[in-house]
Amino acid sequence: MGLLKFIQSIEPDKKKSPFLHTLYDGFFTFAYAPDKTTSGGVHIRDGMDLKRTMVMVVLAMQLCYVFGTYNMGHQHFVAMGQYLGFLEGFHLKLAHGLIKLLPIFIWTHLIGLGIEFWFAAKKGHAIEEGFLVSGALIPLIMPPDIPIWILCVAVAFAVILGKEAFGGTGMNIWNVALLARVFVFFAYPTSISGDEVWVSGFEQVAPGMAVDYGWAHGIFDKLFSWMDMATFDTAAVVADGYSGATPLSLAYVGGWDNVLAHYSTTQLWWGVIPGSIGETCKPLILIGAAILLITGIASWRIMLSMFLGAIAGGWLLNAWGATPFMEVPWIYQFYMGSFFFAMAFMATDPVTAASTNMGKWVYGFLIGIIGMLIRVINPAYPEGWMLAILFLNTFAPLIDHYVIEGNMKRRLKTGKDITDTHSQNNENEVAHA
């Protein structure tokens, strides 16, 4: 209580210092749950506010962060033919992953939260909580080697034009994190496509290319030398024969056999492959999905229907079989790419998804089947969940509209049928009398 009173005593004046008060309010409500609930016996009373709901989603992603950080380092050393065992060179891989992840994470939040704080101060209201999740998602869906300046532009675009322009948290019609990624994809396609961006630490991922270490690696080298541990090899180069190709790009060229020529099914399932930072390890993503389902934050209808839609899309493509990618058995489509991450953390966004129960079934199923079609048929970008989710975000209100219209018509028809039945019964009783 002493700490609470102290924090309350330093609250800035809202009129004199609106921006400082906005900062104070944001951190205060993050640290302390609300102590006020709705009065009256028929109302729901709960201390679980929006911030804590968002924090639960962020916590569900933490295993993806841990694995993604380490896998960045692992893929970096595999490119050089060093420490090929997953746990070999553990300290070096973890250090490299942190060096690459922290700037992405920090700059995402500096830009995103900075814009949110500014808008909140200008509008004169409390800081909105929506960027807690968007800020955690954006680093996980970006390539490990994305230029920081491109990341900053993408975050600013997504927050300003994708969120604040529509009124802020709860008013956006598209998923903010996906808007950041789609901006990079269309504005700077070479920074999020091809094989080179998925492996970090090199100017170019080609045999013989020298490693690109910076001052941060030097700091870790001093620490590791003091601890008598292996250090970063500044003379290392990319190994002969290494390409850094992702499973999806391999499947597009030569089908499932081409994927298995480079990666085992175990590597694919556990995510020990090049890819976006947090989208590769399927078991850890599914643990996060389970947390969201158990806490009731995410919709199981969207997850299940999206899964069924992807299966349906896989069956259709297998039946067509016009290209090697179409012939990939549908079950193995789930071993590649970011389906589970999109299903767990993107499609289930309660703001941009369909709201009605039937609408959620339609919404999720269409994402699954359309995303699979885009993944396999689109020659420019062999993955489809980002575009499919944003496309269905646009149509989610229309889906809900038709579901509600259908419910109203059924109820009106049911009411009319009941009225007609009562009238007929009354007529029969009068005739009988």
Report the half-sphere exposure of 67 (CA within 13 A, side-chain side). 21
DSSP code at position 209: P
* List of the chain residues with pLDDT < 70: 1-52, 124-130, 191, 193-196, 379, 382, 415-433
Tell me what pLDDT residue 67 has: 97
**Angle separating helix axes 18-31 and 90-123, nearest 10 degrees:** 130
pLDDT at position 416 is 62
Residues 274-305 have pLDDT tens digits of 999 999 999 999 999 999 999 989 999 999 99
If you search the block for the tokens 């549908």, which residue do you land on?
330
- The model's pLDDT over 7-21, given as tens digits with 9 standing for 90+, comes to 556 666 555 555 555
Backbone angles phi, psi at 134, to 5 degrees: -60, -40
* Torsion sign across C-alpha atoms 405, 351, 388, 286: negative
pTM: 0.85
User: Which residue in 323, 404, 265, 295 sits closest to 55, CA to CA?
Assistant: 295
CA distance 112 to 50: 18
